[in-house]
Amino acid sequence: MGKIFRVNMTNLTCKVEDVPAELANLGGRAMTSSIVAAEVPPTCHPLGPNNKLVFAPGMLTGTPAANSGRMSAGAKSPLTGTIKESSAGGTSAQQFARMGIKAMIIEGQPKDDKWYRLHVTKDGVTFEDASDVKGKQNFAVIDAMNEKFGKKIGVVTIGVPGEERLAAANISVKDPDQKIRSHGRGGLGAVMGSKKVKCITIDDTGAGKVEIADPEKFRAAAKIFAKGMLDHPVTGEALPVYGTNVLINILNEAGGLPTQNFKYGACEHHDMVSGETMHDTIAKRGGKTKHGCHAGCIIQCSQEYVDEAGVYITSGFEYETVWGLGINCMIKELDDCARIDNAMDDIGIDSIEGAVLIAVAMEAGVIPWGDGKETLRVMNEEIGKCTPIGRILGNGTASVGQAFGLTRVPVVKNQGIPAYDPRSVKGIGITYATSTMGADHTAGYTIATNILKVGGYVDPLSKEGQVELSRNLQIGTTAFDSTGMCIFIAFPALDIPEVLPALVDMIAATQGTSLTVDEFMGMGASILKKEKAFNTAAGFTNEDDRLPEFFEYEPVAPHNALWDFTGAEIDEVWNF
C-alpha cells in the first residue's frame, strides 16, 4: 500500500498520507515528476518556499530484482529552472522502500536561521537540531551520524555549497561502504539547503519486506532479467571489468571525446586516463576493480581507486568525471583526477558540472590548463568554502561563463554538457538540446546506438535517424528511471528481446497488475510530456531546446564536424 511522508519545514510537521490513486503504482522519476508537476508552481523561485523537494524509491526498489536499488530526487532545479529528477544509488532507496515510504515531500521553509536534521523512521519524521554538523562537509557528516547511530543508519546530506545554495550542489547518499553516491545534476543540494535541511538520517528499524503480489511470476522474470544483464557484452563484460571509464578510448577513437573545453574531439594523452589504464593501476596497487553502488547490483561498475601505497582515494570514479578532469581539463595524472573526484563527493558538487565548469574556468585563466593540484585546492578551499571565486564556480558552468564574459560555454538550459561532443555524435546533441532537464546524456543515451552499436546502429556523423533515436530513448529512459533500476539495464533491454518483458513482468508481479510493455512505455511517454508541460508553464520554449551557438560555427577535429540541425528538425523530438 505504502504511504507518503509530507514534511513541512515552515511549521515543522510531518503528515503521513495515503498514496492517492493517481500516484498508485508509480515510483522513481514518475513519482517525483508527477508530484512536482502537480504541486510546484512552475514559475516559483527554485530556492523559495514554494518549491518542493521530493524523494521516491523506484517501482522495484526493495525487491530482489537485480540493480533496482536507486532513489529519485525531484524538484524545480535552481540550475536549469526546469523540472528535475536525479537518480542515485546508495542505501536510502532500499530503506525507504522497505519502510513502505513511496515518497517523501519536503515543502515550505523555516523563517529563522536554524538548521535541521530530518530523522526518518517507519512512523514518520522528526526535526532534530543540526547545529553539530552545520558547516561540515559530507564525509564528516557521515562520520558523525555513524558515530551517533551506528553504521547501519542511512544518511542523505549536503556539503557547505548546498547550505549556501550554490546551483552545482548535489545531494549525497551514503553507500553500502560508507562512501558517497550522488543525486548529482541540477543543483538539488541547493534546494535542500534552501529548506534548511542539512541532512536526513534514516533508521529503518522495524521495516518489513517489500510485498510481492505474485512471487512466482516475479522469480521467473527476475531470472530472465538477470541472465540478460550477465549475457550482454556491455553489462556482462565491459562495465564489470573497466567500469564506465571504458568509454575514454572508445570516444577518442570516434572523435567524440571533448578535449580542452570542447576545442577538439580527440586527445593525445587519452590512454593516460583510460579505463584500461585505470583498471591496471587499481589492480597493481591492490585496490578494488569492482564495486556496487547499492546492494543487489550485479554489474559492479564502480571501483575503489587507491594510491601507490594502496590507500583509498575515491570510489564511483566514473567516465564522465575522468573525462571532464582528465581530458576536458587536460589533467593528465589519474591520481589527481581521483583526488578531485573525492573532493567533489566531500563538498557535494556534481562531478559532471564540476568538471565542465573547471574547464571553462581554465579557459578564463582562473586555473592553468591541466593543473590538477590547483584544481584540487580550488575545490576544497574556494568552492568548498564558498569564497567569491568559489561561488562563481559553484554556481555551475554557465555562471563561470557569465562571470568572465565567455562565449564558449558548453551548457543547455544552464546545465553543463557531458562527455560526448554533439557535433561528432549527433544523436546525443538532440538529447542535450531537448531533454526536459538541461544537457543530460542519461536522458536519452544515444551513445549506445551511435557508438556502441547497441540496439542497432545510427551513424553518429549523419543527421539521419538521430531525432527518432533520441525520442525513443528519452521515452524509454523516463520509464526505466521510474523503476529504481540502474540506467545500464538499457543495454540488454535494447539488444535481448526477453529483457524488457521480464522487467515489466517483475513490476506487474510486484504490484499485482497486468502491466504490459506498451503500457509501461506509454507511462514513460506520458511522464515525459508532463515534464515538458511543466517547463512550458515555467516559460521554456522550443528556442530553449538549442545547443550553444559556438557549436554551429566552430568545427571540431578530427571530423571537422559542426552542429547543423535546424530548430524545426530538433523540435520533431516532441512529435509523439
Provide the mask over 290-309, with x wherever binding to a second copy is found by CB under 8 A and - wherever it is not. Answer: --------------------
Provide the mask over 401-440, with x wherever binding to a second copy is found by CB under 8 A and - wherever it is not. Answer: -xxxxxx---------------------------------
For residue 43, give the C-alpha cell.
514559475
Q: How far is the CB of 135 from a second copy (least distance, A)?
A: 15
Pick the closer one to a second copy by CB: 110 or 240: 110
d(CA 450, CA 22): 37
Pick the closer one to a second copy by CB: 167 or 504: 167
Q: How far is the CB of 388 from a second copy (least distance, A)?
A: 4
Q: Can you give the three-state secondary structure of 246-315, one letter per residue?
A: HHHHHHHHHCCCCECCCCECCCCCHHHCCHHHHHHHHHHHCCEEEECCCCCCCCCEEEEEECCCCCEEEE
Closest CA to 35 of 129, 105, 126, 95: 105
d(CA 324, CA 429): 17
d(CA 215, CA 257): 45
In contact, 96 and 105? CB cutoff 8 Å: no
Q: Quick one: which of 249, 342, 399, 511 contacts a second copy (CB under 8 A)?
A: 399
Pick the closer one to a second copy by CB: 323 or 540: 540
Q: Which amino acid is at 258?
A: P
For residue 335, give the C-alpha cell.
591520481
Interaction residues for a second copy, span 135-164 (CB under 8 A): 164
Span from 309-317, 328-336, 381-389, 469-477 in contact with a second copy (CB under 8 A): 381-389
Interaction residues for a second copy, span 504-563 (CB under 8 A): 537-544, 546, 548-550, 553
Q: How far is the CB of 462 from a second copy (least distance, A)?
A: 24
Q: How far is the CB of 493 from a second copy (least distance, A)?
A: 35
Q: How far is the CB of 387 from a second copy (least distance, A)?
A: 7
d(CA 475, CA 522): 8
In contact, 191 and 201? CB cutoff 8 Å: no
What size, in residues, is the chain?
576
Pick the closer one to a second copy by CB: 24 or 557: 557
d(CA 463, CA 310): 47
Pick the closer one to a second copy by CB: 42 or 265: 42
Contacts of 233 (CB under 8 A, 6+ apart): none
49: number of Cβ within 10 Å: 16
Pick the closer one to a second copy by CB: 491 or 551: 551
Span from 236-244, 304-312, 324-332, 382-390 in contact with a second copy (CB under 8 A): 382-390
In contact, 355 and 372? CB cutoff 8 Å: no
Interaction residues for a second copy, span 65-94 (CB under 8 A): 78
Q: How far is the CB of 503 from a second copy (least distance, A)?
A: 38
Interaction residues for a second copy, span 178-217 (CB under 8 A): 190, 193-194
389 by Cβ neighbours in 10 Å (0-12 / 13-18 / 19+) ranks as middle
Contacts of 395 (CB under 8 A, 6+ apart): 166, 167, 168
Q: Quick one: which of 3, 29, 98, 165 contacts a second copy (CB under 8 A)?
A: 165
Q: How far is the CB of 290 from a second copy (least distance, A)?
A: 39
Residues touching a second copy, count (CB under 8 A)? 42
Q: How far is the CB of 567 from a second copy (least distance, A)?
A: 8
Pick the closer one to a second copy by CB: 50 or 121: 50
Q: Quick one: which of 126, 300, 387, 513 contacts a second copy (CB under 8 A)?
A: 387
In contact, 68 and 80? CB cutoff 8 Å: no
Asked if 11 interacts with a second copy (CB under 8 A), we say no
Q: How far is the CB of 261 from a second copy (least distance, A)?
A: 15
Strand partners, 126: 119
Provide the mask over 25-64, with x wherever binding to a second copy is found by CB under 8 A and - wherever it is not. Answer: -----------------xxxx-xxxx--------------
Provide the mask over 212-241, with x wherever binding to a second copy is found by CB under 8 A and - wherever it is not. Answer: ------------------------------
Strand ordering across the sheet containing 53-57: 13-18, 3-8, 101-107, 53-57, 71-76, 83-88
Helices (H), 404-549: 426-434, 447-450, 466-480, 490-495, 499-511, 517-537
d(CA 129, CA 115): 6
d(CA 415, CA 86): 13
Please name the helix (run of DSSP H) or strand (run of DSSP E) that holds residue 29, with its range, or none.
helix 28-39
d(CA 105, CA 83): 15
Provide the mask over 332-371, with x wherever binding to a second copy is found by CB under 8 A and - wherever it is not. Answer: ----------------------------------------
Span from 68-76, 119-127, 397-405, 473-481 in contact with a second copy (CB under 8 A): 397-405
Q: How far is the CB of 181 from a second copy (least distance, A)?
A: 24
d(CA 332, CA 326): 5
Span from 216-224, 277-285, 394-402, 519-527 in contact with a second copy (CB under 8 A): 394-402
Q: How far is the CB of 554 from a second copy (least distance, A)?
A: 10
Site of interaction with a second copy (CB under 8 A): 42-45, 47-50, 78, 164-167, 190, 193-194, 387-389, 391-392, 395, 399, 402-407, 537-544, 546, 548-550, 553
